[in-house]
Chain A
Amino acid sequence: MIKLLEARGVGKRFGGLTALSDVSLTINKGEVYGLIGPNGAGKTTFFNVLTGAYIPDDGEFVFNGTELPTGKPHLVVQQGIARTFQNIRLFGQLTALENVMAGHHIRTKAGLWGILTQSKHAIEEERLTTERAFELLKYVGIERFAHTICKSLSYGDQRRLEIARALASEPQLLALDEPAAGMNATETSQLKVLIEQIRHDGITVLLIEHDVKLVMGLCDRVAVLDFGKKIAEDVPAVVQKNDAVISAYLGGPKHAH
């Protein structure tokens, strides 16, 4: 297996609160890697540190053999990591298509001069961006809303749109922050199909999720965070039976079963 992302002793503190301490994990190319843990365990903080939104206090990330820049989100995206948000964050005044087109920004190059003079290259790039964005909308299954302002999409479609927008940056690693939050059973199972499709198409997925059924059914490997520490990492079936994990979730004594 080829290592795609490696976290080495990552730590993050907010004042006196230790949100992450010495978290090390390895994500292999082509797998769906789950990151679970009770509320406040540090999952989203891990995402934020990984994607450059926060600067880690300790440790580093190695992606494709090179160290990731910290605190520079756009460079992280450039390297090939895209993310979605726990609470949907779309660009409210843009249509679904435009949201995805915006997501393609980092892979386009047209300069100011090219845009102002409408150079051949700029026009061609704009056309490709538009087409590619539409393809992605088809991919996640919401192309019929391409020209709808994204705010008026249904909740589940907004989630899909956010994934399409993240895919538009042509990532190698797609980090999904609770994509099934607030979804009903049907939407969740459709989401599962979509994530499997994404993996099938060669994109590695890092998944933070509360929905245990989804995680267990989807992930190749799972890491469990509790109070900022990694307490387990293995295939779902093993993690499920791990005492530390059970007590972290249920808060009971170690042998509670």
Chain B
Amino acid sequence: MNELIEAVPFLGKRNPRLAKWLIIILALVAPLIAAYFGRSWMRILDFALLYMMLALGLNLVVGFAGLLDLGYIAFYAVGAYTWAFLASPHFGVHMPFWIVLPLGAAFAALAGIILGFPVLRLRGDYLAIVTLGFGEIVRIFMNNLNHPVNITNGPQGINALDSLNLFGWNLAQSLSFGDFKIHYLYLYYYFFLLCVIGSIVFIKRLQISRVGRAWAAMRDDELAAKAIGINVRNMKLLAFSLGATFGGVAGGLFGSFQGFVSPESFSLMESIAVLTMVVFGGMGNIAGAIVGALALTALPEILRNIALPVQEALFGTVILDPEVLRMLLLSLAMILMMLLRPAGLVPAHARYSRPELLKGGA
């Protein structure tokens, strides 16, 4: 939270309390503002929260533990497909969310460990290549496991996934109190918001603990980390599996929200997009992951809404498709970012201790 507060431009340092309330209020009213611009914006906002969870989880692996993972989306896929298998007409199984979500997280964590073991000795570029391969393998499996036995329904994907049902309260149905109606997108927004807050709390606790310090030590100097008694193997596996857990939960939520999963949602580009969010926001700090996810989910959509009318007004026709423009501008943004703020929008000054625990200390 403190990192987020400091990340607020201008106010963050001058008036942290005001900044804090600003963030809280913004988080609460964001869907109302989005609704003013249309339903699609509310949907985008919901996705932004999912991406935040992903970015937070990946940041744990890349930013804290220093393990470059280019196949992170695979864990998202594992979570989403777990939901699809256990809560959809595909197999005719309809389990409640409190079984499916933890199971998805557990499967993702298991996948994280399976990925973790062979790459224990790898670092940097080599690690990136293997994880990239892992991500692709998972996607290709999903794509082809429809023959001879149909498990994943192949490229067509699985649809009509169960929506989130919180103990009998279906989030996909709008609430209505007489004339007053609350659209289901709001419900999802607040539920996802809770999940994101929960993730932040958990990650913050991990960060300021012996585990967080061990990860940071490993990231900064693996040899020295070993020499002070850190079991690097276990810590790496822990980072992979915990990071994957967040991906798995986000994946399950994605499945329930979207109601449809197919392998193309889990392409390499998605992995890179999430990594870009982490790097763009600032590696190794929670605020960075959040700001990065928000910025990189919203910007392309804003662009889409601006690019078309502007081009039509200027040239009379649409010359550049927004999709093309999006990749172009995203790359440009990344290049500028690396030149001007290489440490990201919110440069990391993540802390791994609580100095206030010192009685009368400096």
A84-129 interface (Cβ within 8 A of B)? 85, 89-95, 97-98, 101-106, 108, 110, 112, 115-116, 118, 122, 125-127, 129
Instruction: Collect the chain B residues with CB atoms within 8 Å of residue A51's CB.
Output: 227
A-B contact count (CB 8 A): 132
Q: Could you list which residues of chain A lie within 8 angstroms of chain B, going by C-beta atoms? A: 51-53, 73-74, 77-78, 82-83, 85, 89-95, 97-98, 101-106, 108, 110, 112, 115-116, 118, 122, 125-127, 129-131, 133-134, 143-144, 146-147, 165-166, 168-169
Q: Any chain A CB within 8 A of the CB of B348?
A: yes
> Which of B118-126, B218-226, B320-328 has 4 or more CB atoms under 8 Å from chain A?
B218-226
Give the CA-CA distance A74 to B227 in the complex, in Å: 7
A75 CB → nearest B CB, Å: 8
Within 8 Å by CB of A126, from B206, B216, B284, B354, lies: B354
B132: CB under 8 A from chain A? no
Provide a sorted-by-A list of 30 A–B residue pairs whose CB atoms are within 8 angstroms: A51-B227, A53-B223, A82-B227, A82-B229, A85-B227, A91-B216, A92-B220, A93-B284, A97-B353, A98-B216, A102-B213, A102-B216, A103-B228, A105-B210, A105-B213, A105-B217, A105-B229, A106-B228, A106-B230, A115-B205, A116-B202, A116-B206, A122-B209, A126-B209, A130-B354, A131-B359, A134-B358, A166-B228, A168-B228, A169-B228
A65 and B37 alpha carbons, distance in the complex (Å):
75
| Residues of the A chain whose Cβ atoms lie less than 8 Å from the Cβ of B217 | 91, 94, 102, 105
Which of A74, A94, A104 sits near B216, CB closer than 8 Å?
A94
Q: Is the CB of B226 within 8 A of A73?
A: yes
Q: Is B205 touching A131 in the complex (CB atoms < 8 A)?
A: no
Known interface pairs A53-B226, A53-B227. Does A89 touch B358 (Cβ–Cβ under 8 Å)? no
Within the complex, what minimum Cβ distance (angstroms) separates B309 from chain A?
45
B contact residues, range: 35 or more
| A74 in complex: contacting residue of B219, B230, B284, CB < 8 Å | B230
- Chain A residue contacts of B231, Cβ below 8 A: 74
Contact: A94 with B213, CB < 8 Å? Answer: yes
Q: Report whether B358 and A131 are in contact in the complex, using a CB–CB cutoff of 8 Å.
A: yes
CB interface residues, B 195-241, toward A, < 8 Å: 202, 205-206, 208-211, 213-214, 216-217, 219-221, 223-232, 238
Is B149 part of the contact surface with A, judged by Cβ < 8 Å?
Answer: no
* Residues 329-362 of B contacting A (Cβ, < 8 Å): 348, 350-355, 357-359, 361-362
B221 near A74: Cβ-Cβ < 8 Å: no
